[in-house]
Structure formats: C-alpha cells, structure tokens
C-alpha cells in the first residue's frame, strides 16, 4: 500500500507498522502504551500526531506543546506517537564540522552540538514553491518512508549513522579487501619465482598488468549498467563469486598464455566493483559523509595489502606441499576465501534503506520504521536527485550518452588518468626491486608492510582535512608534492651504490604517501548531482584510473633496468602535469560557479520558479547547482 498523506501535510504510516512505532517511542522514553487508541484513517493508515499525548500530561509535555504550537483535542488525548511530524515545523541548525566525524561519542563534553536538538536540515522540500519540482518518482523504492515533515534529533541521527557504518560500511570494506587480495597477490607470487617457473620475463609481467587494467577498464561501464538493472545487492555478490573462481584457477597456470588469460578474465569480472559500491553507499549516506567513508573504504584496501603480505609469508612456505609451488597455494586459498565472502554477500547486502529484510538479516530487517524514515528523509533532503531513479531501474542509452557527455566531470576524469601514475609504477615493482637488492622472499613480503601502514595514516588524515576544509583540488594535490623529493632521489642517485636499507627507507616514505583517490571518488559523486550521472560518472572515472594503471605498468622497461633513469624522468614530468591539472580544475569550477551565480542572481523570483519547473531533472547543469572544487 502506498503512503497516505493528509491535506495539511501531516505524515501517515501504514497501520501495520503502528506497534513498531509505538514500541520504539516507548523504549526511548516517549510515552506508555501501545498503538491502541490511534484512530484509523482512510486506506488503513494512521496519523502521526505532532507530539506524544497522554491523558496525564507533564510539564515537559506542556513545554513541547508550547514549543511546537500543537493543539490536542480530547479525542486525541490517548494517542501515542513515535515522532514529531509538523507542517513547517522547526528545522535544525547545521551541525558543526566536528560533529561530522563518525567517532564523536554521543554526549562528548567537547562537542558543540546539542544532541537533543532537531537535526532535520532545511531543503527544497520546505519551500512550498519548490517542493513540487523535487518530489521522488512514484516507484522509488523508499517512497513509503518519504515525508518532508519528518523531524528527528542529532542523537537519533548519530546513533543511526553508526548503525549504518556497522551494518553496511563494514561489510563493503571486507568485500573490498577480498577484491584487493585477489588482484594484488600477483606481487607476492612473483617473489616466489612465478616468472621463471612459467617462463615469463619482466615485459610479460608488465603485459599481464596492462591486460588486467585494460580489461578492468573495459568492464567498468557495462558492469555499472548491469548493476542498475539487477541491483547492486545482486550484482556485487555475483561478481565476487565469479572472479573468485578465476582467482582460484590460477593454481593450475602452466605458461604465458594461461597467465595472460587469467589476468584478462580477472580484470573483466572485477571491473565495475568499485563504482558500483560507491553508488550503493550513496543510498545510505549524505554527500559530506561519503567522502570520509571512501577514505576508510580505501584504507581497507591497504589493510588487505598488509594482510596479503602476512598471509603470503605463511602460504608461500607451503612450497613443496603436494609437490606444488607456494604461489599456487596462495592463489587457490585466497580465491576460496573470496568465494565464501561472495556467497555471504548475497545475504548481507540489503537493496536499500527500506529493503533490509532477508535470510541473513532477519524477517523484520535491520532498521525500525522510525529509523527508515530518518534514513530516507535525511538522504533525500541532502540530495533530492536520489529519488529520481529506482535502484533497479536501468540506465537508458540516451541517459548513458548524456552522462558520458557531461563535460563538467571531464576535469576530474583527466586527473584520474594521471594523478596516481607516479606511484603506480614503483608500487608494482616494489617487491621485485626489493628481491633484486638481495632481500629474501619472506623479508621482501614483510618489508612492504611499513609503507602500507604509513599510507593508511596519511590517507585518513588527507581525507579528513579535505572534508573539514571543504577543499577538493587544493588538498588532493598534496600527494604530488609529496612524491617530488623521493622520485628525484630515484632519478639522480645511483641506488646500487648506497645501502639497500637506505633505498628501502626512501621507498617506504615514498609509497607511504597520502592517497587522494577517496577524495576524488566523493568529488565525482557530489558534482554528478543525478543518480544516472553518479553511476556512469563513477565508472568513467575508474576507467580513467585504470587507464593510468596501464600507463604506469609500461614506464619501467627491461632495457632501462636497474636504475630506470628514463622511467623516473617520465614520472617526474607527469608530476608536473598533475599539479597543473589540479590547479586548472580548481579554476574551472570556480569560474563555472561564479558564472552561474551571476545569472541566477539576475533572475526574479518568478523566473527562478519557472526555470526550476522546466529544468528539475537537469542535474549539474541547473543554474542553482554549485560544483565542489
């Protein structure tokens, strides 16, 4: 049954949910009794009153009544309700930026936020002249929980965000760990003589990395289109199961063709995973929350690299078991772990905030009706475009083309193509370089861990600074300056003439750099401003990142070894290009915002209303939209 709503705008909930609402409110100390006494409305829905009314009201009740101007008649005196739903009711002040940090404990004395104050933020739904232009489409999966008059407190919102972090974010991080283990364990495998045993050269290794990245790149957009058709909750687990089978089959590799084929198939099946996860998380988080969580998402990737190094230390010691090399056991066992994660993901990934019931999530799901209302309305208030598509609605060819031609996202795509190349090349060669300097197989796999720990710390700091300052370009550019002294060392110093520990120390601090990728993924999501552009834009951006991986995989060549003088010169040149790109992107978005501001300010109120009525679905092309820079 669809949502019922009165002419006054008072919210309604299905009668079937009345007991749950009342129970939630009772547990929160809001009143006694169940849902009995709540009068039925047409269509089997009940009216949510402005506040909890009891026959024996208290002074606190009178204060609430005075604050919200609610009037209670005799026949309503026994009504127990779950929340305040008032037409044009009070809205919350913006939360101080310190309050955005997920680890802020409820009741922290140093926190400026009054946790019992209204948290509902002002949006277009509070303007009667604009609200009609932003209504979610009728078949939106969360429409039954949409109510612009809903109000909630910061205490409720923070508790709910932590619940989402635990239920949703944590599992996506674990899934990403599985992906990283299966795509990056090739770096551990080569330390166990994979190349000579398969008759491969360094150039073959480069070719395999390039084919993986190219296949990954080519699969990005098709994978996103499939996910929009099937749903992220179906496609992501299916991807994991399929690529786990390919990853495990590398146990049987016997030569160059098999090695290259496995890299191609692995790339094809893993492609699109990351942008699909970004789209999935956008169903649960606001824009300013997503950037921070992307930082933790990529932190989980580095944790996977650390765990891969530690597990490789043990698995590679299985050399000789059954007469097989250690790298074969590495591929087989880690692939089987991913298979388990993939199967579990079918049960642990809900389709959306109001679709959490399932075989591993319980018949009633993870969230109460009250929590669903908060989740849905806080998200759509932050970005009304999220109500424009069902989570299982495919992107049409026309909308796909429109998204691909969104030139305002191209500067970020260009940054994605080049920004990580100066790091990607040394990273892919780190284990081979350490092995070549005389470190043993097991020393090599352990010596990569310090750089990864430093990388995690710096990436989290960089992401938080970006969100706290509201700056994208000027913070994301920092890793480019970080790389300059270390690449200069590799370019101009004869590394064979200095201690191998000195070279290791330089490489550790170099590759322990902050990582701007989480910032840029969140940047794309913010500047897309529609679900279809967000889905396609994330995929195209990741295609550019994979294109950068292809470039990076072919800069160090065998004829340039062991100093890679030519290669490091190229990397220093790309650093200079990246600095120019970041500054140019900052200037471009500032210019676009300033130009729109001038046009918007010159329009009358009636002209603005007419414009919004005619261009409600224009996404980031609307004159009232401002780009993050």
Contacts of 437 (CB under 8 A, 6+ apart): 500, 503, 504
Domain identity same for 392 and 303: yes
Instruction: Specify the higher pLDDT residue, 573 or 7.
Output: 573
70 plus 204 within the same structural domain: no
Q: What is the pLDDT of residue 608?
A: 81
Band (21; pLDDT cuts 50, 70, 90): very low
Model confidence band, residue 85 (pLDDT cutoffs 50, 70, 90): very low
Last residue of a domain, one of 43, 61, 86: 86
Residue 82 has pLDDT above 50, yes or no: no
Distance CA 218, CA 182 (A): 19
How far, in Å, CA of 62 to CA of 359, rounded?
Answer: 45
Contact between 538 and 278 under an 8 Å Cβ cutoff? The reply is yes
- Name the percent of the chain lying above pLDDT 70: 79
Q: Confirm whether 338 is domain-assigned.
A: yes
Domain presence at residue 215 = yes
Residue 395, pLDDT score: 67
CB atoms within 10 A of CB 498: 12
Same domain, 159 and 36: no
Residue 627 counted as domain residue = no
C-beta atoms surrounding 223 within 10 Å: 25
Number of domains in the chain: 2
**Nearest in space to 248 (alpha carbons), one of 341, 342, 337:** 337
* Claim to verify: residue 43 and residue 185 sit in the same structural domain: no
- pLDDT at position 577, please? 93
- The answer to whether residue 100 scores a pLDDT higher than 60 is no
What is the Rg, in whole angstroms, of the alpha carbon atoms belonging to the chain?
Answer: 27
pLDDT at 95: 63
Cα 553 from chain centre: 26
Contact 186, 305 (CB under 8 A): no
Exposed / middle / buried, residue 600 (Cβ in 10 Å: 0-12, 13-18, 19+): middle
User: Would you state the pLDDT for residue 96?
Assistant: 58
The string over 91-130, giving b where at least 16 C-beta atoms fall within 10 Å of a residue's C-beta and e elsewhere, is ebeebeeebbeeebeeeeeebebebeebbbbebbbbeeeb
Domain boundary among 86, 106, 122: 86
The whole-number pLDDT of residue 136 equals: 80
User: Do 214 and 75 reside in the same domain of the chain?
Assistant: no
Q: How far apart are CA 257 and CA 280, in angstroms?
A: 36
Confidence class of residue 16 from pLDDT cuts 50, 70 and 90?
very low
Question: In terms of DSSP H, where are the helices of 449-564?
Answer: 449-469, 473-476, 478-492, 500-511, 517-528, 531-553
**What pLDDT is recorded for position 442?**
72
Q: How is residue 515 written in tokens?
A: 């990582």
Answer yes or no: are the C-beta atoms of 188 and 431 closer than 8 Å.
yes
- Tell whether the torsion through CA atoms of 268, 274, 279 and 281 is positive or negative: positive
In a domain, 109, yes or no: no
Q: Is residue 101 part of a domain?
A: no
pLDDT at 247: 92
45 & 163 share domain = no
Considering the domain architecture, whether residues 18 and 167 belong to the same structural domain is answered as no
Based on the domain organization, do 355 and 474 belong to the same domain? yes
Question: What's the pLDDT band for 617 if we cut at 50, 70, 90?
Answer: low
CA 374 from centre of chain: 20
146 within a domain of the structure (yes/no): no
Instruction: Report H helices in 91-169.
Output: 154-164
Q: Which two tokens stand for residue 586?
A: 């900052």
- Asked if residue 54 and residue 179 are part of one domain, the reply reads no
pLDDT at site 516: 85
Domain-located, residue 100: no
What's the CATH number where 166 sits? 1.20.1250.20
Q: What is the pLDDT of residue 165?
A: 92
**Mean pLDDT, residues 407-431:** 84
Between 46-60, 270-284, 303-317, 521-535, the lowest mean confidence (pLDDT) is in: 46-60
Q: Taking Cα atoms as reference points, which of 281, 278, 206, 219 lies closest to residue 246?
A: 219
As a whole number, mean pLDDT of residues 252-270 equals 90
End residue of a domain, out of 86, 103, 127 = 86
Domain of residue 34 covers 1-6+13-86
How far CA 208 is from CA of 259, 260, 267, 390, in Å, comes to 7, 5, 10, 38
Judge if 81 and 196 occupy the same domain. Answer: no
Please report the pLDDT score of residue 358 as a whole number. 81
Q: What is the band of 248 on the pLDDT scale with cuts at 50, 70, 90?
A: very high
Whether 529 and 445 share a structural domain: yes
Tell me how far apart the 2 most distant CA atoms of the chain are, in Å: 92
Which one has a higher pLDDT value, 79 or 459?
459
Q: Average pLDDT in the 549-564 region? A: 78
**Beta carbons of 134 and 616 less than 8 angstroms apart:** yes
Supply the DSSP symbol for 28. T
Nearest residue to 310 (alpha-carbon basis) of 185, 182, 429: 185
End-to-end CA distance of the chain: 43
Peptide bond connecting 562 to the previous residue in cis, omega within 30 degrees of 0:
yes
Q: Residue 401: what pLDDT?
A: 78
What would the two tokens of residue 533 be?
């552009």
256 in a structural domain? yes
262-287 average pLDDT score: 88
From 173, 176, 151, 175, select the one nearest 164 (Cα to Cα): 173
Question: What pLDDT is attached to residue 183?
Answer: 83
Whether residue 391 contacts residue 385, with contact meaning beta carbons closer than 8 Å, is answered with no
Exposure string for 246-264, b = 16+ CB within 10 A, e = fewer: bbbbbbebeeeeebbebbb
pLDDT score at 61: 38
Look at 235 and 320; give whichever has higher pLDDT: 235
DSSP states of 515-544 as a string? --HHHHHHHHHHHH-SHHHHHHHHHHHHHH
DSSP state of 41: E
Give yes or no: residues 428 and 552 share one domain: yes
Q: For the segment 279-320, what is each residue's pLDDT rounded down to a tens digit?
A: 888 888 887 788 788 888 888 888 888 888 888 888 888 888
């Amino acid at each position: 049954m669809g949502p019922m709503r009165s002419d006054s705008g008072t919210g309604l909930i299905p009668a079937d949910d009345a007991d749950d609402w009342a129970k939630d409110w009772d547990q929160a100390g809001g009143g006694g009794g169940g849902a009995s006494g709540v009068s039925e409305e047409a269509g089997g829905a009940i009216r949510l009153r402005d506040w909890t009314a009891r026959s024996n009201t208290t002074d606190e009740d009178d204060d609430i009544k005075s604050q919200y101007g609610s009037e209670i008649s005799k026949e309503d005196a026994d009504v127990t309700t779950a929340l305040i739903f008032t037409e044009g009711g009070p809205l919350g002040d913006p939360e101080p930026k310190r309050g955005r940090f997920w680890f802020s404990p409820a009741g922290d004395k140093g926190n400026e936020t009054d946790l019992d104050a209204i948290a509902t933020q002002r949006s277009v739904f509070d303007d009667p002249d604009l609200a009609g232009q932003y209504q979610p489409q009728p078949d939106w999966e969360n429409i039954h929980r949409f109510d612009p008059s809903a109000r909630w407190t910061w205490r409720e919102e923070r508790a709910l965000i932590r619940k989402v972090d635990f239920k949703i974010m944590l599992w996506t991080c674990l899934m990403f760990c599985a992906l990283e283990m299966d795509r990056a364990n090739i770096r551990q495998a080569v330390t166990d003589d994979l190349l000579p045993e398969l008759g491969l050269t360094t150039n073959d290794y480069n070719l395999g990395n390039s084919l993986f990245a190219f296949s990954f790149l080519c699969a990005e957009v098709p994978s996103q289109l499939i996910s929009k058709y099937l749903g992220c909750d179906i496609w992501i687990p299916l991807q994991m199961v399929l690529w786990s089978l390919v990853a495990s089959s590398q146990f049987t590799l016997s030569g160059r063709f098999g090695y290259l084929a496995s890299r191609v198939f692995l790339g094809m099946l893993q492609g699109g995973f990351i942008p699909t996860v970004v789209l999935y998380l956008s169903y649960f988080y606001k824009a300013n929350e997503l950037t921070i969580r992307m930082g933790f998402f990529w932190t989980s990737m580095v944790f996977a690299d650390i765990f891969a190094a530690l597990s490789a230390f043990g698995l590679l010691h299985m050399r000789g078991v059954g007469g097989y090399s250690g790298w074969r056991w590495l591929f087989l066992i880690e692939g089987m772990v991913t298979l388990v994660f993939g199967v579990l993901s079918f049960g642990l990934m809900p389709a959306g905030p109001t679709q959490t019931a399932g075989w591993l999530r319980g018949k009633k799901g993870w969230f109460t009706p009250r929590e669903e209302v908060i989740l849905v309305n806080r998200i759509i208030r932050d970005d009304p475009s999220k109500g424009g598509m069902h989570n299982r609605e495919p992107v049409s060819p026309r909308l796909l083309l429109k998204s691909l031609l969104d030139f305002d996202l191209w500067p970020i795509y260009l940054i994605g193509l080049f920004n990580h190349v100066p790091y990607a090349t040394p990273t892919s060669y780190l284990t081979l370089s350490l092995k070549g300097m005389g470190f043993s197989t097991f020393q090599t796999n352990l010596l990569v861990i310090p750089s990864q720990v430093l990388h995690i710390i710096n990436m989290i700091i960089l992401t938080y600074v970006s969100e706290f300052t509201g700056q994208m370009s000027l913070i994301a550019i920092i890793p480019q300056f970080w790389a300059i002294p270390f690449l200069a060392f590799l370019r101009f110093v004869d590394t064979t003439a200095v201690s191998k520990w000195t070279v290791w120390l330089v490489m550790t601090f170099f590759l322990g750099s902050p990582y701007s990728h989480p910032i840029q993924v969140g940047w794309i999501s913010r500047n897309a401003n529609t679900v279809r552009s967000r889905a396609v834009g994330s995929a195209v951006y990741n295609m550019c990142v994979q294109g950068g991986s292809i470039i990076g995989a072919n800069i160090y060549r065998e004829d340039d070894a062991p100093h890679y003088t030519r290669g490091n010169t190229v990397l220093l040149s790309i650093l200079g290009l990246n600095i120019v790109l970041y500054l140019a992107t900052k200037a471009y978005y500032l210019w676009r915002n300033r130009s729109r501001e001038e046009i918007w300010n010159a329009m009358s109120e009636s002209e603005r209303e007419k414009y919004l009525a005619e261009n409600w679905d224009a996404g980031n092309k609307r004159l009232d939209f401002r780009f993050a820079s």
